[in-house]
Amino acid sequence: MEWLWSALAIVCILEGLGPLLIPNRWRLYMLQISQQPSNQLRQVGGVLVIIGFISLFYLNY
């Protein structure tokens, strides 16, 4: 369970780098993403989840 907290901490660090280092570009990027169709966002999210599960599988075995 300790690895989960470490993983969440790393996600927080990575997610915070954009707004910290390049806030104006990050804001424009978020604006562009918010204008994408919901189906496209679902597809991107699904692909990222699958990549994450596959990565975890290979890192643990």
How many structural domains is the chain composed of? 1
DSSP string, the chain: -HHHHHHHHHHHHHHHHHHHH-HHHHHHHHHHHHTS-HHHHHHHHHHHHHHHHHHHHHHH-
38: containing domain: 2-60
Query: 9 near 2, Cβ under 8 Å?
Result: no
pLDDT in tens, 45-60: 999 999 999 998 888 8
Residue in the block written with tokens 């966002």: 41
The 10s digit of each residue's pLDDT in 8-55 is: 999 999 999 999 999 999 999 999 999 999 999 999 999 999 999 999
Distance CA 28, CA 23 (A): 9
